[in-house]
Structure 1
Amino acid sequence: MTNKRKNTDKIELGKGDALIVIDIQNDFLSGGSLAVPEGDQVIPVLNGYIDQFINRQLPVLVTRDWHPANHCSFIRQGGPWPEHCIAGSKGAEFAADLHLPVSAKIFSKATEAGQEDYSDFANPTFKEQLDNVEASRLFIGGLATDYCVLSTVLDALNYHYKVLLLTDAIRAVNVRPQDGENAINEMIQKGAIPITLAIIR
């Protein structure tokens, strides 16, 4: 990690903060139909962030791909991806070792056969929930860096949220070798602040 990726100032959590956990689903993990390289490594780190937010009674929002069986993103429908995260399937379930609190709010995206959605903001109830909890600072991590994390972070910045990118809790698909690196650079250039769990207090 280069110096521009490090933010060593301690961050105090408080009112207005919300944690966004993106797509920690079986199909994106080891053995899944669209496994993200090293995707499993983000789970214990995300659990650490979740614990910090729950201990302070701060909101945790969890998102998932929830595709119909004929979703347009699938190869047999002309899309780029193997079938994954079909609604109600084992592959669409959250990782068993992700410590989801009972208070977590779950949001589904890409639920229509003819529409691909990478950003969590594609589900209008997601933004409504952020408004309900008066969120102003979003801590965003999950899978994958170069798709759903990137799209969600850019939309959040466009909505004028302060975004903290959990660089220790994201991993990339890397269809092209530099996709993840380029996505991180773009998010930081657009205003996201890179952080790690070690500086949360």
Structure 2
Amino acid sequence: MSKALIIVDVQNDFCPGGALATERGAEVAALISEFVENYHDRYQAIVAAQDWHIDPGTHFSDNPDYQDSWPPHCRAESKGAELHPELDTDYIEAYFRKGAYAPAYSAFEGLLAPEYTVMPGEREAGAPVEDAGEQTPLDAWLSEREITDIDVVGIATDFCVKATAMDAVDAGYETRVLLDLTAPVSEDSLDDTVDELEDAGVTVIQVL
């Protein structure tokens, strides 16, 4: 067994004070950091996914329905797209960015971020976003490392975490969601989200 940890969208815009905040975002960022510090040796790879929107079309709306359309968030190379400061990145090996020109929820829609790109939050206002060229998809990157099992944590439980876990199962990985290391958009929908995940073959556990 070779296991990877996928940290999904622990970004400023999804934490308190951000454009599309979850209530527990910052708390979960800190909990993930503590978990990784204690258990990083259980994983052969630790990666992070980021929303990274350039022109995602109808994903952004001035009148969002909060299901298929949302207020603008996580614009590429902006401070809102930056990983939250409570998330310790020391053990993160690679970053996968998704949603540049279309809606994207799953980390498996993400592409490997090249090392030379501008750091989030450092782009001058009005400057063009760099074209990163051809990049490696997450599934190919994991396959190269012979990963068989995946744990998923991050934001938001009922959207991008769920989508990532379901795609992991579909791709043939043994998949777990570490529920207490995730933050939902809606606490009211959490039981339904867990049911959906388990019905799809995802194991949902508490680790704290």
Which sections of structure 2, spanning at least 5 residues, go unmatched?
Answer: 112-136
Q: Which aligned pairs between 1:23-42 and structure 2 lie closer than 5 A?
A: 23-42=9-28
Bigger relative CO (Cα 8 Å, ≥ 6 apart): 1
Which sections of structure 1, spanning at least 5 residues, go unmatched?
Answer: 1-14
Q: Which residue of 1 aligns with 2:121?
A: none
If each structure's helix is expressed as a fraction of its own residues, which one has the higher value? 1
**How far did residue 102 of structure 1 move?**
5.5
Q: Which aligned pairs between 1:1-201 and structure 2 lie closer than 5 A?
A: 15-55=1-41, 58-68=44-54, 71-76=57-62, 80-101=69-90, 103-112=92-101, 115-123=102-110, 125-174=137-186, 178-198=188-208
In structure 2, distance between residues paired with 1:138 and 1:190: 15
Give the CA RMSD over aligned residues. Answer: 2.1
2:195 aligned partner, one-letter code: N
Is the 2:106–2:160 contact (alpha carbons within 8 Å) kept by the matching residues of 1? yes
TM-score by length of 1: 0.81
TM-score by length of 2: 0.79
Q: How many residues align?
A: 180
Task: Tell me: CA distance 1:152–1:69, structure 2 relative to 1, closer, same or farther (3 Å).
Answer: same
**How far did residue 171 of structure 1 move?**
1.5
Q: Secondary structure at 2:175's aligned position in 1?
A: strand
1:84 aligned partner, one-letter code: H
Identical counterparts, % of pairs: 29
